[in-house]
Structure 1
């Protein structure tokens, strides 16, 4: 098995507030990310997403635990340009023009030959001579994308990447990100847009109160929360037989239509189609938003590993 691009092991980070109890922002978080995967990092405000991202980038150090990016300490991977980030704000000089900003960063990375390509790829030509401080929030965000890609990084860490972008720019951004992932680039993004995670991520990591509460492919996370419903018209069906299938929690009948609540919808659907006379089969799953709400309000402290 190849070495993960990102390896986070038992990461813990706390903060001390004057006159208050110690706040544990990240509590023994562990996960790994293989090359070329697009991972959504979801959680409510204050869940620990940004603190975790800061430690992956080497911007802060954990109290305990370890982070490795591309097999080395995060600071080294970031400084070399092999790991890059697009954060929500900051990092831009308002008195430089857009072109001057790109040229300066390109010079630092030995990437002067990529300046024209980045300006074109991120639609910066129309305001390349404008001072950064005069650019809109969406224009500044597109500039950040261009800067992050100058060093041709292997890993991209994105914090609310489409904030400030209009619908068209958002679509183009995700089209480019898919192309980058297909080319082998690894992408982790934190977002409040649940539909973006649903549409573009291969995997979701849910974090709540500093702990990972679920980690896995989106469809399996949906099924693991409230399961899925599989219904079909099944003449002469045996409720006892169907209730005994793995993952089936409940079976109900309305005429010849049977409805099964299950945590294994694919297996149940396959069984019905191959082993019974079922037809008119329907499968419905929990929405990612419903899963988000239920998982981030869980109080049992146990993570769901549904990989």
Structure 2
């Protein structure tokens, strides 16, 4: 742990988090989840569909209220951290106007946070400076995701959430996107990303958190999780952990 991590609140501090949705039946999407992310970490958030990944991210962004438990982001309530521009997110879809250019889109985002934000730098760090004059509607899916990344960077957030950001991208698009993310993370930004691509977790994350049925069932490096599950691949560990009920990978955090 670095001195900065010791003296500042963690980037994300989730304790006993519960989220229920009430309809004909009560659905508990998040079930007593605990998670602490230190500043500067790059954390992969893995789980099958319905495991509670996106719901947890929504709660951390202040988009929903927990049924029970607490979420603190950089020592603040999620909504306060988002309003201050300290937290940003790259979601799978939405948020883009097809008739604007790439540059206009990022400048519009920057205007929401006032003056002093370097639009050109955000475009360059997202790897799309050469697309500044292109209409959003003429961008590929991968280029649009890197545009969302540039929009997220413009406020210089301390914490960045990525919710399955490379879904639907081809191999080259995924590689280019993660190259931009890792280059930015090297500056010290905290990144939490949900993904279905286990190779992304193994290649790009410092730490892997596996959730199943709304709970953390494993937490550690990819190597720790594989060792604790007694298997050779992260895919085998993932299947074993998410298929088991009420078990966790002892030995991993």
Q: Which residue of 2 aligns with 1:214?
A: 218
Moved more, 2-11 or 110-119: 110-119
Q: CA offsets, 1:186-244, max 9 Å, x none?
A: 10000000011011111111111111111112111111111xxxxxxxxxxxxxxxxxx
Counterpart of 2:153 in structure 1 is: 149
Query: Looking at both structures, which has the greater relative contact order when contacts are Cα pairs under 8 Å and sequence separation is at least 6?
Result: 2
Q: Deviations over 1:50-77 (max 9, x none)?
A: 0001001111010000000010001111
1:13 to 2, 15, 19: 19
Given the alignment of the two structures, is residue 49 of structure 1 paired with residue 42 of structure 2, yes or no?
A: no
Distance verdict in 2 for CA 1:304–1:31, change over 3 Å: farther
1:112, CA displacement in angstroms? 5.5
Aligned partner of 1:104 in structure 2 is 108
| Equivalent position of 1:229 in the other structure | none
SS in 2 for 1:152: coil
The question of 1:194 aligning with 2:198 is answered yes
Q: Tell me how far apart the structure 2 counterparts of residues 157 and 113 of structure 1 sit (CA, whole Å).
A: 20
The answer for the alignment partner of 1:159 in structure 2 is 163
Contact 2:142 2:174 in 1 (8 A): no
Which of residues 34, 40, 43 is equivalent to 2:44?
40
Pair 106,87 (structure 1): closer, same or farther in 2 beyond 3 Å: same
Tell whether the 8 Å contact from 2:228 to 2:251 is kept in structure 1 after alignment: no
C-alpha distance in 1, partners of 2:236/2:248? 18
- Which of these two proteins has the greater Rg computed from alpha carbons? 1
Between the aligned partners of 1:124 and 1:111, the Cα distance in structure 2 is 22
Q: 1:125 to 1:187 in 2, by over 3 A?
A: closer
Structure 2 counterpart of 1:297:
243
CA separation in 1, counterparts of 2:148 and 2:250? 34
Deviation at 1:140, TM superposition (A): 1.3
Q: Which moved more, 1:209-218 or 1:118-127?
A: 118-127
Q: What residue number does 2:98 align with? A: 94
Partner of 1:4: 10
8 A Cα contact 1:216 1:306, kept in partner: yes
State the distance in 2 between where 1:305 and 1:16 align. 36
SS at match of 1:95: coil
Tell me, in whole angstroms, the C-alpha distance in 2 between the residues paired with 1:218 and 1:14. Answer: 30
Deviates more, 1:212-221 or 1:140-149: 212-221
Normalising by structure 2, report the TM-score. 0.90
Q: How many residues align?
A: 247
Q: How does 1:219-298 map to 2 (within 5 A)?
A: 219-226=223-230, 286-298=232-244
Q: 2:185 aligns with which of 181, 185, 188?
A: 181
Give, in angstroms, the shift of residue 113 of structure 1: 4.9
Match of 2:118, SS? Answer: helix
Deviation at residue 120 of structure 1 after TM alignment: 2.8
Structure with more strand by fraction: 1
Distance 1:76 1:184 in 2: 22
- TM-score normalised to the size of structure 1? 0.75
Unaligned stretches of 5+ in structure 2? Answer: 1-5
Write the deviation string for residues 160-203 of structure 1: whole angstroms up to 9, x where unpaired: 12224333342233233333333221100000000110111111
Q: CA RMSD in A?
A: 1.9
